[in-house]
Chains A and B, each alone.
Chain A
Amino acid sequence: MIRETIGMAFIFVGIAFDFFGVLGLVRLPDVYNRLQAATKCVTFGSAGILFGTFLLEGFTSFGFKALLGVAFIFLTSPVAAHAISRAAHRARIPLTEGTVVDAYEDDEELKVNTVIKK
């Protein structure tokens, strides 16, 4: 009984953070900010749903698959976010107007120039 209550609480919290993450995907101004909000919140939300599933199902094959899904999401989602952000920066997709500093741009310019000189 207490286990089912805690599992449902995990599922509700997960769905709320899923929704916040998607809201961030719509509201924030450029690719990198969207990536931050979406990756953090949707990863946490889906992991919460899967962990709640594990608590509801217990130690069955369904529950173990859900636990495996939690580990999988935690490992792969940041890697995909990193790949997309680096590709976006190398493809010269501009940052938003309010950007304060871009240290990567300076170093990246140096790298591109040396490659062309060779």
Chain B
Amino acid sequence: MRLLRWFVGLLLVAAFAWFNFFIYSGEIFFKLVNVILFSALFVLYRVIIGPSPADRLVAVDILGVLIIGMLAMLGLHYEQGFFMDIGLIWALLSFIASLAFAKILEGRSLDD
């Protein structure tokens, strides 16, 4: 059963890679951004299915770090520096949000 699931996942990833790198004819940076968006689909699966609140929290925290890489590549493609500003601020806000939600999950109050 486990081997079957592994094999189905492998087929899925292989199909995506084949479509993205050989069928789709875009710029190279758009192909790479597509890989990160495909990864973000897995993260969203964990956000929706995740059995406990901590799983969802981990997934959201990781999504923040993924987005920084995606924004850096978008900035490289469009030759614009302000994408990196957005990325840095996104990282900062995501970090603070993770700490705050972790504090709530732990059951502490605001001034503890």
Q: Does chain B have a CB within 8 A of A61?
A: yes
Let me know if B84 and A66 touch, CB within 8 A: yes
Please tell me if A9 contacts chain B, counting CB pairs below 8 Å.
no
Question: Are B98 and A84 in contact (CB-based, < 8 A)?
Answer: yes
**Other-chain contact of B58, A25, A61, A73 (Cβ < 8 Å):** A25
**Which residues of A lie under 8 Å from residue B107 when comparing CB positions?**
90-91
Cα distance, A38 to B62, chains bound together (Å): 7
**Chain B: which residue is nearest A48 at the CB level?**
B69
Number of A positions contacting B (CB below 8 A): 47
Are B42 and A26 closer than 8 Å at their CB atoms? Answer: yes
The interface residues of chain A, by DSSP majority, are classed as: helix
Instruction: Return the CB mask of A74-118 against B: 1 if under 8 Å, else 0.
Output: 001101110110111011010000000000000000000000000
Given contacts A53-B76, A72-B91, contact A87 B66 (CB under 8 A): no
In the complex, how many angstroms separate the beta carbon of A16 from the nearest chain B beta carbon?
Answer: 9
Q: Which of B36, B46, B92, B103 contacts A15 (CB 8 A)?
A: B36
Q: A27 to B109: give the CA distance in the assembly, Å.
A: 34
Most chain B CB within 10 A, of A22, A39, A73, is at A22
- Which residues of A from 21 to 54 have beta carbons under 8 Å from B? 21-23, 25-26, 31, 34-35, 38-39, 42-43, 45-46, 49-50, 53
Which residues of B are in contact with A by a Cβ distance under 8 Å? 32, 35-36, 38-40, 42-43, 45-46, 52-55, 57-59, 61-62, 65-66, 68-69, 72-73, 75-76, 81, 84-85, 87-88, 91-92, 95, 98-99, 102-103, 105-107
List 20 A–B pairs whose Cβ atoms lie within 8 Å, in order of A's numbering.
A12-B32, A18-B35, A19-B39, A21-B62, A22-B40, A35-B58, A42-B66, A46-B65, A46-B69, A49-B68, A49-B73, A53-B72, A62-B75, A69-B87, A80-B61, A83-B99, A84-B54, A86-B106, A88-B105, A90-B107
